């Protein structure tokens, strides 16, 4: 969109100031890490093995997610059945699902004494091991398979309907359709999807914290945490932080090189209109793929629901106190994220210095939250007791982490509103706050509500920075749950997981719902 000739308004000044603040909030801690890391000499063998493990598990996770997603997406694209829309909506849920809840669910199903291994043992087959590489990859596939399915499904639905009609008139068999239409689409979507998942998996901390560990299954992020928490070797933590930034920057640059499709798109609930005759075997394969995917995604969550529900009433007070802290923190995070994102999005939609602003908005993807947390710790330590600032720091870092998602949702909506009603607003002399209130806000309520809900849910379930800072008595709910798991208080942990799950979904639902109500579309 072309930039308008208009005197710089208060909104734009606010946007620029906030962009500068965001830049400072990311680069400041990074500089602190850099400065602290200088005094350290090199990396040890344990560090190199952490780097290798980080890349290897991310690679495997991305490969499995992509390969398994293809049959599922294909089946969803060409079958219609009751519950299809719900299943596709569920595929969007991992964004708002607390990692620790899902991991507990996975342990319940796939763990040593889980449903699957009990079954295997009854058949005399040796069981699976969920701790270590297997478990880390399993959990990452659980979170990223749905993302990959949505990306591929979008690719399938982006094949013009006319092309399927053309294929029908030319007498294409399913094999011809695969060759001429589906495979070219897959080659287009897969590299971007692979790299995004790879990037997500290199920075995933909570999964490695719970399922990894030990010399053979430690990621760089986990090594930062251990250096911090157990050895209190800040220099080494900073050095590892730099390594992590390096990995993310390389992966991030690769992501930018290939076109990355957006996964947030709607309209996925329409099945493809196909005319080719499919064999019974293909039909059966489709149903198998859909059933297995649904079971894989639903069983861990059902396990949490069923096993948690009995223990909720007898949960210790500390869990409820943590829940209260978490809800307040996540509300504050969502507010802060919106306060940062809205002025920036308005400025980006104006078209001024767009590339720079978008890069600033996306920085928190390249610099992992744990690294920012480490840097903030280094900066704050001389002035305040870090554990007393645990919650504000967590809120800030989570708001920064949610910023790219919010910008992605808001900018197109603002642009559409400006394209549709900007000239009218101009002619009526609506500028600044009035324009925002009367023209823009009513038209961006939906993405705003969605984005705020996403920020709230992400913050509610976050088990990252808080682990570095929090003192035993004032953790968030995910941290409290992690402690319960560590203390083998499984019943309490399962009940806490249920509370955490319900609160996360509820927070998302309330914000998202609020955005939809009375939204001008």
Partner 1 sequence: MLRLDDVVLGFEGFTLSADLSVPKGARLAILGPSGGGKTTLLSTIAGFLRPDTGRVILDGQDVTDWPVQDRPLSILFQEGNLFPHLTAFDNVALGVDPSLKLTEVQRADVARALDQVGLGDMGARKPGDLSGGQRSRVALARMLLRRKPLALLDEPFAALDPGLRREMLSLVGDLCDAEGLMLVMVSHDLRDAERLCTDLCLLEEGRIILNGALQPMLADPPELLAPWL
Contacts to partner 1 by CB under 8 A: 160, 162-163, 165-173, 175-176, 179-181, 184, 273, 275-277
Cβ 149 to partner 1, closest distance in Å? 24
- If the CB atoms of residues 77 and 458 are measured against partner 1, the closer one turns out to be 77
* Of 171 and 317, CB closest to partner 1: 171
State how far the Cα of 468 lies from the Cα of 389, in Å rounded to an integer: 11
Distance CA 233, CA 219 (A): 17
Phi-psi sector, 29: left (phi>0), alpha (psi -120 to 50), beta: alpha
Side-chain half-sphere of 344: how many Cα atoms within 13 Å?
30
Nearer to partner 1, 179 or 437 (CB): 179
**Of 176 and 231, which CB lies nearer to partner 1 in the complex structure?**
176
Question: In the complex, what is the shortest distance from the CB of residue 276 to partner 1, in angstroms, rounded to a whole number?
Answer: 8
Nearest CA among 359, 300, 376 for reference residue 98: 300
End-to-end alpha-carbon separation of the chain, Å? 21
φ, ψ at 129 (rounded to 5°)? -105, 120
Give me the least distance between CB of 159 and partner 1, in Å please: 9
Both tokens of 307, joined, read: 């096993």
Q: Which two tokens stand for residue 202?
A: 């290199």
Least distance to partner 1, CB of residue 126, Å: 45
Kindly write down the DSSP assignment for every residue of 149-206, as one continuous string: HHHHHHHHHHS-HHHHHHHHHTT--HHHHIIIIIHHHHHHHHHHHHHHHHHHHHS--H
Structure-block tokens of residue 182? 């589906």
Smallest Cα–Cα separation from 272: which of 346, 385, 122, 161? 161
Q: Whole-number minimum distance, CB 175 to partner 1, in Å? A: 8
- Pick the closer one to partner 1 by CB: 169 or 314: 169
Query: What tokens were used for 289?
Result: 């793929």
Residue 257 C-beta: closest distance to partner 1, Å: 20
494 neighbors 438 (Cβ within 8 angstroms): no
Q: Output DSSP code: residue 79.
A: -
Between 5 and 175, whose beta carbon lies closer to partner 1? 175
Rounded to a whole number of angstroms, the minimum distance from the CB of residue 379 to partner 1 is 52
Within the chain, what is the greatest distance between any pair of CA atoms?
78
Q: What 3-state DSSP class applies to 266?
A: coil
- Cβ nearer to partner 1, comparing 20 with 158: 158
What tokens appear for 160 in the block?
């013009």
Task: Between 191 and 213, name the residue whose CB sits nearer to partner 1.
Answer: 191
In terms of Cα–Cα distance, which of 258, 296, 241 is closest to 35? 241
Angle at CA of residue 322, ends 321 and 324, nearest 5° = 65
Return the closest-CA partner of residue 517 out of 442, 415, 409. 442
Nearer to partner 1 (CB atom), residue 34 or residue 168: 168
Least separation in angstroms between CB 358 and partner 1: 28
Residue whose CB is less far from partner 1, 277 or 281: 277
Euclidean distance between CA atoms 289 and 281, whole angstroms: 12
CB of 289 to partner 1, least distance (A): 25
- State the nearest-atom distance from the C-beta of 160 to partner 1, in Å: 5
How far is Cα of residue 431 from the mean position of the Cα atoms in its chain? 35
């Amino acid at each position: 969109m072309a930039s308008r000739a208009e005197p710089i308004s208060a909104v734009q000044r606010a946007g620029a100031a906030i962009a500068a603040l965001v830049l400072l909030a990311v680069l400041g801690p990074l500089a602190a890490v850099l400065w602290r890391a200088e005094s350290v000499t090199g990396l040890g063998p344990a560090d190199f093995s952490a780097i290798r493990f980080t890349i290897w598990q991310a690679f495997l996770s991305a490969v499995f997610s992509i390969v398994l997603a293809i049959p599922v997406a294909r089946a969803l694209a060409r079958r219609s059945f009751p519950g299809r829309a719900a299943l596709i909506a569920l595929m969007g849920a991992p964004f708002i699902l607390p990692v620790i809840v899902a991991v507990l669910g996975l342990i319940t199903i796939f763990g040593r004494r889980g449903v699957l291994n009990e079954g295997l043992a009854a058949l005399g087959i040796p069981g699976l091991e969920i701790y270590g590489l297997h478990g880390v990859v399993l959990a990452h596939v659980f979170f990223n398979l749905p993302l990959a399915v949505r990306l591929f499904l979008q690719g399938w639905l982006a094949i013009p309907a006319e092309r399927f009609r053309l294929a029908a008139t030319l007498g294409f068999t399913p094999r011809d359709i695969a060759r001429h239409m589906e495979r070219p689409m897959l080659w287009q979507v897969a590299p971007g999807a692979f790299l995004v998942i790879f990037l997500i998996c290199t920075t995933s901390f909570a999964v490695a914290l719970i399922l990894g560990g030990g010399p053979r299954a430690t990621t760089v992020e986990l090594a930062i945490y251990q250096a911090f928490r157990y050895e209190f070797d800040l220099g080494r933590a900073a050095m590892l932080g730099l390594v992590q930034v390096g990995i993310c920057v390389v992966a991030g640059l690769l992501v930018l090189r290939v076109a990355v499709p957006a996964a947030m798109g709607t309209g996925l609930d329409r099945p493809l209109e196909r005319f080719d005759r499919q064999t019974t075997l293909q039909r059966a394969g489709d149903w198998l793929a859909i059933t297995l995917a649904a079971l894989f995604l639903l069983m861990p969550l059902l396990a949490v629901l069923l096993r948690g529900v009995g223990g909720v009433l007898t949960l210790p007070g500390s869990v409820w106190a943590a829940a209260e802290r978490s809800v307040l923190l996540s509300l504050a995070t969502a507010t802060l994220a919106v306060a940062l994102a809205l002025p920036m999005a308005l400025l980006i939609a104006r078209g001024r210095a767009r590339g720079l602003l978008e890069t600033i908005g996306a920085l928190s993807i390249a610099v992992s939250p744990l690294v920012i947390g480490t840097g903030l710790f280094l900066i704050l330590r001389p002035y305040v007791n870090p554990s007393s600032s645990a919650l504000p720091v967590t809120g800030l870092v989570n708001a920064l982490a949610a910023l790219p998602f919010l910008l992605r949702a808001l900018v197109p909506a603002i642009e559409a509103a400006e394209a549709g009603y900007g000239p009218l607003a101009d002619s009526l002399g609506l500028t600044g706050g009035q324009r925002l209130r009367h023209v823009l806000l009513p038209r961006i309520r939906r993405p705003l509500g969605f984005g705020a809900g996403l920020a709230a849910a992400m913050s509610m379930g976050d088990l990252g920075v808080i682990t570095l800072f929090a003192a035993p008595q004032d953790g968030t709910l995910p941290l409290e749950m992690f402690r319960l798991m560590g203390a083998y208080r499984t019943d309490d942990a399962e009940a806490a997981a249920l509370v955490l799950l319900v609160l996360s979904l509820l927070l998302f639902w309330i914000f998202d719902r609020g955005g939809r109500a009375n939204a001008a579309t």
